[in-house]
Amino acid sequence: MATRGQGSLVHALDYLPLLAFALFFYAIPICYVLASINVQELAGLLNDPYVLKLIWNTILQAVASTIPSIVLAIPVAYFFANYAFRGSKIVRNLLLTPFFVPAFAVTEGMIIMLGERGLVNQFLELILGTRQPVSDVLYSVTAVVMTHVIYYLPLAMLILEQGFSSVDQDQLDAAHVSGADWLTTLRVVYLSHLVPFLAASAILVFAFSFITYSTPILIGGKFTTLEVEIYSTRTRSVSSSLAIIQLAMTLAISVLVMAFRERTYKSSLGSARPLSREEGQSHTLGRRALLVYCILVAVIELMPVYLVLVQSVSQSAVVLFPTSISLEGFSALFAQEFGFGVGFIDVLLTSLSIAFVASLCSVLLSILIAWRGLQSKRARESTGLLLSLPLSISRSSLALGMMLSYGFGMLQLYGSWILFILGDIALIVPLIFRVIEASWLRIGSEVREAASTFGASDLYRLFRIELPLIAPAVASSFMLAFSSSISEFTFANFFSTLNLMTLPISVATLLDLRKFGPAAALNAVIILIVVAAEVTSPAVSQEALRVM
Amino acid sequence: MKPSGRSAIALSIVVVLFAASVLFLVLRQPELENTLIVYGPRGISGMATALLQEFQKRYNVNATFIHYDMGSIDIANKLISEKGDPIADVIIGVPEFYAKQVIDADVLDIYTPPEIGVIPASEVWDNTGHILPMDKGYILITYNQTILSQRGLPAPRTLDDLTNEQYRGLVFYQDPSTSGTGLSFLLWVLSTKGTESGFTFLKQLEPNVKLHPSGWTSSIVALQRGEVAIGSMFNTDVEYVEVPKLESTASEGFVYREGIALVKGAKHREIAKKFIEFALGVEGQDIVAPAGYMYPVNPDASFSALAQAPIPQVQVTFNSSIAGNVVEWLDRWRREVKGA
């Protein structure tokens, strides 16, 4: 019989992987940022009207990004939750493309769409019969908000789809039998289930929009945010002080994310009879309208990425369909030297290798954290809380902290590929942990208990029973991690040297060298790798992605 | 606990791919210990890389350029923060207007290479001898003639012309926090008008400004797509092949000058001196124009690549009487001009 002390030790071990991860990847780098803070400066900033205005602007644009993202995502989520069709998983994953390709690729697509001579203006000029640009939204906060909607609508859709899927089929059947109209059904059956999912998706979209920085820099014109200010002052102590203010605010947002996440999980993992999806063609007018709406959303979502792909093989500036195809940009990549002895193949293989190693390490670490975290309810809740915090943390602040701590401080890793992998793991684990944990929770405690009754050890149960059951989720999360790593820009921007760089950094290098054709081609290469990972994901796994 | 056949195959593939990835990364890992390290701003990485690649071939040594994605001031501050235990051996791209801070921080050594004798005295701007002149460029007011013609607008000739109401929404200049060209524009204004009047002018100009691009690339993209028509660019961007009819009257312009220096406590001191000699010699200076779109200071070097670029008739240099406030000015610009 285990003594009380041994029991405490076992419980403490449940937290060990999580605490080690949090300490190494977050606490130590943040401490390095904290160490460079000037307390007087920090106090002064809290009363600085300029900083207060920045905070207010940041909040306003985040709210403005959140509301349309959620509202527009609801019908799409309903559609995917209710209707199954061949390739629906691929379509759903493809919709995530704007979220995973580098921000500068999507913003390039938005510039092609929204510019004075962009597609939107060309279309409006045609409709209205004018020769003057009608829309003037590029380089404004409106363009930032529109781009955020493109990024985050699919994210909201995934969370809301989980909400719609968790609606009790028995309640729906009862509403149908009792002759309830659609409004009553919506109010009584759907809303009661959806509120936590709506709140969770809204908070997550708000959090991501809150920490935005590359989108305002590229297409925000004079509009600026707190994160942009941190970036602009990043080598001075004021940057650390601003980062701490940002960190405190994102911490509060993360706690909210966590609170709603717990409710979401409780709802989604309840004992309700799952919603049965309808297969095949839709017939009613409402369903057809919904289908048309979803196609329209999918077209708008994928349009910026498509335009960047077209641009890479086209010789004209703004085109929906290329009139003549040119592969000059791609062939020029092979002749390009990006830095010191770094050719295109080197960059490609380096990126793929870093993505593979980082993804595998992240998956293994996530499994370890989830496995130990599931040993008790308290451990699971603490794990969920701690791993929710990084989702909305300022990336540039964390990258700065990692640079100070592991790049130059404790480990002297600047210039090494290991630093890239550490940065990737810090970002990826909080993201994929959810996919793995959600899958694990669905196994059910009775399976574990039955295995234990027959004398299975913890390790035997892990390797022979639980891991095989969650294998599809593991495969899915690996692909998610791979997509995320291959297009990661913020950390790579801090860590790369001209001797070692990844694909997104090479695009930036080409732009610096004024080589737009090869830069567009390389952007296309990144997009194609991300799309391939997304398309492969449902092929290797039937697991639905979960981002909350 | 033996895995099943399919699982074993999948596991083997993952292990092999993992091992291959790690092996590739280990073999590709650059060795920085025995490497000459040159610091400089990101904006000149093309030129710096070309210079160092040529230097490596010539002297058969390892060398690299590190910019940390920083601008000229940030990279100089980074060097200052490493005082006593520097990572860099040489710093290049030190701007004239930030020289005082770097010299006062005592992070540079005086080195006088033989090549300095051939450089005209008029090009030497640091009389203490810490920072040697390396190259220069001219910031001009440029415009897209096609757009101005379509709108029937005259070409702007001076800074004051930019505040003309008819140019509303057509003007740009880069964010000086992130762009060397933008910082040069700010210093052009302050050098010409003085600090207070300069900021008053910038605030008057702001209603005409459509955007402050983060750097050269976003400026060119905005120009190419016709989003803006008038703004500050280097003279070498005029007639840039991919921008239709970008022109300049070149009535006046700001002279941007930058230098090279030996870092105090450099770990590879002798080879660092060799690099400085190489960079200021004809061989290195011949690279400045084609790779950096800047003018070499060595009169024997060629700049035929820039033959079409207009030289400003009135050349404004940095007013050294206002030296020492660059960081304060950047803060003020963000608060009073962009964030107003």
CA distance B298 to chain A (A): 24
CB spacing of A512 vs B45 below 8 angstroms: yes
Minimum Cα–Cα distance from B49: chain A residue:
A339
Among B residues 274-333, those touching chain A with beta carbons less than 8 Å apart:
327
CB spacing of A233 vs B177 below 8 angstroms: yes
State whether residue B102 is helix, strand or coil.
helix
pLDDT value at position A81?
86
Q: Looking at this protein, which amino acid is placed at residue A546?
A: R
Q: What is the mean pLDDT of residues A213-225?
A: 87
Could you please report the per-residue DSSP string of A155-204?
HHHHHHHHHHHTS-HHHHHHHHHTT--HHHHIIIIIHHHHHHHHHHHHHH
Q: Which residues pair with B294 in a beta bridge?
A: none
The secondary element (H helix, E strand) that includes residue A114 is: helix A103-114
Phi (first) and psi of residue B41, to 5 degrees = -70, 155
Distance CA B183, CA B139 (A): 10
CA distance B25 to chain A (A): 7
CB spacing of A339 vs B49 below 8 angstroms: yes
- List CB contacts (< 8 A) between A234 and chain B: 74
- List CB contacts (< 8 A) between A221 and chain B: 210-212
Give the confidence band of B337 by pLDDT, cuts at 50, 70, 90: very high
Minimum Cα–Cα distance from A233: chain B residue:
B177
Q: Looking at this protein, which amino acid is placed at residue B256?
A: Y
pLDDT value at position B164?
96
Give the confidence band of A542 by pLDDT, cuts at 50, 70, 90: very low
Half-sphere CA count of B53, side-chain side, radius 13 A: 16
Spell out the domains of chain A, with CATH numbers in brackets.
59-225+274-326 (1.10.3720.10), 336-548 (1.10.3720.10)
Q: Has residue A6 got a pLDDT over 70?
A: no
Q: Has residue B336 got a pLDDT over 60?
A: yes
Distance CA B179, CA B234 (A): 12
Alpha-carbon radius of gyration of chain B? 23
CB spacing of B49 vs A500 below 8 angstroms: no
List of residues 6+ apart from A520 with CB closer than 8 A: A308, A311, A312, A329
* DSSP state for residue A220 in the 8-state scheme: -
- List CB contacts (< 8 A) between B210 and chain A: 139, 221
State whether residue B90 is helix, strand or coil.
strand
Give the confidence band of A548 by pLDDT, cuts at 50, 70, 90: very low
- List CB contacts (< 8 A) between B177 and chain A: 232-233
Which of B7, B9, B18, B28 is most worth mutating to test chain A (most A CB atoms within 10 A of its CB)?
A: B28
- List CB contacts (< 8 A) between B151 and chain A: none
Among B residues 216-235, those touching chain A with beta carbons less than 8 Å apart:
216-218, 220-222, 224-227
Among B residues 66-95, those touching chain A with beta carbons less than 8 Å apart:
66, 68-70, 74, 77-78, 81, 87
To the question of pTM greater than 0.80 for the whole model, the response is yes
Phi (first) and psi of residue B260, to 5 degrees = -125, 145
Among B residues 185-214, those touching chain A with beta carbons less than 8 Å apart:
209-212, 214
Count of A-B CB contacts under 8 Å:
128
C-beta separation of B39 from B92 below 8 A: yes
CB spacing of B220 vs A514 below 8 angstroms: yes
Closest CA to A383 of A441, A435, A434: A434
Counting DSSP H helices and E strands in chain B, the numbers are 11, 12
In A238-397, where do the E strands start and end? 278-279
The pair of structure tokens assigned to B113 is 């290479």
B280-318 as b/e: b if 16+ CB within 10 A = bbebbbbbbbebbbbbbbbeebbbeebeebbebeeebbb
In A16-106, where do the E strands start and end? 83-84
C-beta separation of A300 from A98 below 8 A: no
Phi (first) and psi of residue B279, to 5 degrees = -65, -30
Q: Which residues pair with B171 in a beta bridge?
A: B209, B230
In this chain, the answer to whether the domains covering B35-136+257-306 and B137-255+312-338 adopt an identical fold is yes
Q: Give the nearest partner residue to A350 out of B28, B52, B242, using CB atoms.
A: B28
- Three-state secondary structure readout of B30-89: CCCCCEEEEECCHHHHHHHHHHHHHHHHHHCCEEEEECCCCCHHHHHHHHHHCCCCCCCC
Distance CA A467, CA A461 (A): 8
CB spacing of B30 vs A497 below 8 angstroms: yes
Q: What is the mean pLDDT of residues A282-310?
A: 86
Distance CA B317, CA B256 (A): 7
Q: Has residue B257 got a pLDDT over 90?
A: yes
pLDDT value at position B243?
64
Most confident of A308-317, A500-509, B98-107: B98-107
Please, what is the Cα angle at B203 between B340 and B186, to 5 degrees?
105
List of residues 6+ apart from B137 with CB closer than 8 A: B234, B235, B236, B255, B256, B293, B294, B295
List of residues 6+ apart from A517 with CB closer than 8 A: A328, A329, A332
C-beta separation of B304 from B286 below 8 A: no
CB spacing of A340 vs B53 below 8 angstroms: yes
Q: Which residues pair with B133 in a beta bridge?
A: B259
Domain ranges of chain B: 35-136+257-306, 137-255+312-338
Distance CA A41, CA A38 (A): 5
What confidence tens digit (pLDDT) does each residue in B164-207 have?
Answer: 999 999 999 999 988 888 999 999 999 999 999 999 999 999 99
State whether residue A115 is helix, strand or coil.
coil
Q: Has residue B299 got a pLDDT over 90?
A: yes
Please, what is the Cα angle at B92 between B90 and B97, to 5 degrees?
125
Place of tokens 């959620």: A70
Q: Has residue A241 got a pLDDT over 50?
A: yes
- Give me the helices (H) in A220-284, please: 226-232, 237-268
State whether residue B235 is helix, strand or coil.
helix
Phi (first) and psi of residue B159, to 5 degrees = -55, -45
C-beta separation of A253 from A392 below 8 A: yes
Distance CA A68, CA B220 (A): 32
C-beta separation of A541 from A108 below 8 A: no
Give the confidence band of A82 by pLDDT, cuts at 50, 70, 90: confident
Question: What percent of chain A stands above pLDDT 70?
Answer: 89
B322-333 as b/e: b if 16+ CB within 10 A = beeebbebbbeb
Closest CA to A543 of A68, A51, A92: A92
The pair of structure tokens assigned to A380 is 């699971």
Give the confidence band of B285 by pLDDT, cuts at 50, 70, 90: very high
Q: B137-255+312-338 has which CATH code?
A: 3.40.190.10
Q: What is the mean pLDDT of residues A97-123?
A: 85
Distance CA A86, CA A99 (A): 23
State whether residue B229 is helix, strand or coil.
coil
Tell me whether B168 touches chain A (CB under 8 Å). Answer: no
The pair of structure tokens assigned to A359 is 């993804």
C-beta separation of A206 from A155 below 8 A: no
B35-136+257-306: CATH topology is D-Maltodextrin-Binding Protein; domain 2 (3.40.190)
What confidence tens digit (pLDDT) does each residue in A326-366 have?
Answer: 888 899 899 888 877 789 999 999 999 999 999 999 999 99
Distance CA A236, CA A52 (A): 19
- List CB contacts (< 8 A) between B45 and chain A: 498, 509, 512
Most confident of A109-123, A524-538, B140-154: B140-154
CB spacing of A512 vs B216 below 8 angstroms: yes
> How many residues appear in chain A?
548
Q: Has residue A516 got a pLDDT over 80?
A: no
Distance CA B132, CA B126 (A): 7
Give the confidence band of B72 by pLDDT, cuts at 50, 70, 90: confident
Counting DSSP H helices and E strands in chain A, the numbers are 27, 2
Minimum Cα–Cα distance from B240: chain A residue:
A514
